[in-house]
């Protein structure tokens, strides 16, 4: 099964998909999800990058599940080696960026941290492709400064920007699709993070966990691709109602094919 695997660059001449369980649960769980999602993407001709977090350091509550920690990087490496697909994870400190680069192919900068200079520079120094999420409090043009920081260290590493909504009052996000063409004008591929765009921060269980509106994920995904996004990000889980983290913002694994099939058809129309 070919995924045109490259550890140096994510191809943008075909639709690409970043996805997987929000957080690593265990090795078998990770491999099972990665293999199933790869089958879907391969059948549709979509390039696949497996994503899962080894440590969720930005949870609202101290009681929230964070993941397996550093040993989770070994699990990501096993997913990469066994399935021959690129893997992605998020990091939260300069030290984490340096360590994670030894195990993963793409480093993700969380939205809350996209302005953290030391983190950006450390990630850039790894020479890995960077998936940088636009913060909920930033305008799309603000990402020009983020790119400049990365380019001050690494002239050639691929930078991918992600739209995931902006803060709109309490516990709600709104996606302005204009941000996609604006960020593309900065010279980087753009991803629509359809799952986190429907997130309702700190809106569940008395403010201790994030809520969300899962049924809106396909709508945001289709709109984002129609607006010109090059790739799509969605967290995927076989049983999201019982996922330890961000289940309300995750797509059910059994629904993934139908969602990506429509999204890919929209992408194809725009690229004929």
Strand partners, 185: none
**pLDDT at residue 3, as a whole number:** 58
Question: What is the DSSP code (8-state) at residue 53?
Answer: B
With respect to residue 9, please indicate whether it lies within any of the assigned structural domains: no
> In terms of C-beta density within 10 A (0-12 exposed, 13-18 middle, 19 or more buried), how is residue 63 classed?
exposed
**pLDDT tens-digit readout, 174-232:** 999 999 999 999 999 999 999 998 987 654 455 444 566 889 999 999 999 999 999 99
pLDDT at 66: 79
The number of distinct structural domains making up the chain is 1
Residue numbers of the domain that contains 21: 16-270
138 assigned to some structural domain: yes
Residues sharing a CB contact under 8 Å with residue 266, sequence separation 6 or more, in sequence order? 222, 225, 226
- This prediction's pTM: 0.91
pLDDT at position 149, please?
A: 97
Residues lower than pLDDT 70 in the chain: 1-8, 59-62, 201-212
CATH number, position 126: 3.20.20.70
At residue 142, the pLDDT reads: 96
The pLDDT of residue 206 is: 52
Please report whether residue 7 resides in a domain. Answer: no
Residue 5, in any domain of the structure = no
pLDDT value, residue 153: 95
| 23 in any annotated domain | yes
Q: Is residue 2 part of a domain?
A: no
Q: Is residue 246, in this structure, part of any structural domain at all?
A: yes
Please, how many CA atoms are within 13 Å of residue 153, restricted to the half-sphere of its CB?
20
pLDDT value at residue 173: 87
Q: Which residues of 212-251 are buried (b: 16+ CB within 10 A; e: fewer)?
A: bbbeebbebbbbbbbbebbbbbbbbbeebeebbbbbbbbb
- Give the containing element (helix H, strand E) for 128: none
Q: How many CB atoms lie within 10 A of CB 26?
A: 11
Q: Is residue 106 part of a domain?
A: yes
């Amino acid at each position: 099964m070919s995924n045109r695997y490259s550890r140096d660059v994510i191809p943008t001449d075909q639709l690409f998909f970043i996805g997987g369980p929000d957080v690593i649960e265990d090795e078998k769980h990770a491999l099972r999800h990665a293999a199933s999602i790869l089958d879907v993407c391969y059948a549709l001709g979509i390039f696949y990058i497996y994503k899962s977090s080894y440590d969720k350091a930005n949870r609202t509550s101290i009681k929230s599940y964070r993941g397996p920690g550093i040993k989770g990087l070994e699990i990501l490496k096993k997913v990469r080696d066994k399935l021959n697909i690129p893997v992605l994870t998020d990091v939260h400190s300069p030290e984490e960026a340096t360590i994670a680069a030894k195990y993963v192919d793409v480093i993700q900068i969380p939205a809350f941290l996209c302005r953290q200079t030391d983190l950006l520079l450390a990630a850039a120094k790894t020479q890995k492709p960077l998936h940088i999420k636009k913060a909920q409090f930033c305008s799309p043009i603000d990402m020009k400064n983020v790119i400049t920081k990365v380019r001050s260290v690494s002239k050639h590493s691929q930078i991918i920007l992600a739209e995931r909504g902006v803060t709109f009052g309490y516990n709600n996000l709104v996606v302005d699709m204009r941000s996609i063409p604006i960020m593309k004008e900065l010279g980087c591929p753009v991803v629509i993070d359809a799952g986190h765009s429907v997130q309702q921060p700190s809106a569940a269980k008395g403010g201790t966990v994030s809520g969300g509106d899962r049924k809106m994920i396909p709508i945001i995904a289709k709109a984002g691709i129609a607006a010109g996004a090059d790739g799509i990000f969605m967290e995927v889980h076989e049983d999201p109602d019982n996922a330890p983290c961000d289940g309300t913002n995750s797509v059910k694994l059994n629904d993934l094919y139908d969602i990506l099939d429509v999204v890919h058809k929209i992408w194809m129309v725009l690229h004929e």
